[in-house]
């Protein structure tokens, strides 16, 4: 992916993304079939136990896989998704999620995402089927 294509993907995806801005989800990198997003944890992103909220972690996975799937220029929505929480997201200032396309078909793409703490600890893994709208 060229620098211009990468910037276009950034611009297209984040031009109208109020949800991501509201939740502090930032697009760090995108390339052919891959994406990295991050969130700096704030009190509103924590659950009552003061660890990263599962919904925020799941949202990171959804965004990372969605951007990875649309890095080829086609619009997508999530058709199916599952997540496995492996460890709590505690004692970390930031969460990083790496998404990638595993298999791309004519109408869908199977993607995976992994979420890590500051020290590189894997806390969640997700599988998402993206449906191509165009």
- Residue 88's φ and ψ, nearest 5 degrees, are -70, 145
Instruction: Tell me: pLDDT of 20 over 90.
Output: no
Average pLDDT, the chain: 90
Q: What is the pLDDT of residue 90?
A: 87
Q: How many CB atoms lie within 10 A of CB 113?
A: 28
Tell me the pLDDT band of 11, cut-offs 50, 70 and 90: low
Mean per-residue pLDDT for 45-74? Answer: 93
Question: Mean pLDDT across the stretch 111-117?
Answer: 98
For residue 69 the two structure tokens come to 């799937």
Spans of all domains in the chain: 3-132
CATH number of 3-132: 3.10.129.10
Write the DSSP assignment of 79-125 as a string of letters: EEEEEEE-S---S-SEEEEEEEEEEE-SSEEEEEEEEE-TT--EEEE
The pLDDT value recorded for residue 72 is 85
In this prediction, residue 22 carries a pLDDT of: 84
Residue with tokens 């990638």: 100
Helix (H, G, I), strand (E, B) or coil at 59: helix
- What pLDDT, on the 0 to 100 scale, is given for residue 131? 96
Confidence of residue 12 (pLDDT cuts 50, 70, 90): low
Bridge partners for 108 per DSSP: 131
């Amino acid at each position: 992916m060229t620098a211009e294509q990468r910037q276009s993907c950034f611009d297209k995806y984040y031009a109208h993304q109020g949800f991501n801005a509201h939740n502090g989800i930032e697009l760090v990198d995108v390339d052919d079939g891959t994406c990295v997003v991050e969130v700096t944890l704030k009190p509103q992103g924590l659950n009552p136990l003061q660890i990263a909220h599962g919904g925020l972690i799941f949202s990171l996975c959804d965004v990372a896989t969605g951007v990875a799937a649309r890095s080829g220029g086609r619009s997508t929505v999530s058709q199916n998704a599952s997540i496995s929480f492996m460890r709590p997201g505690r004692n970390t200032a930031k969460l990083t999620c790496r998404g990638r396309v595993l298999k791309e078909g004519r109408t869908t793409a199977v993607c995976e995402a992994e979420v890590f703490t500051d020290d590189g600890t894997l806390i969640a893994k997700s599988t998402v089927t993206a449906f191509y709208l165009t």
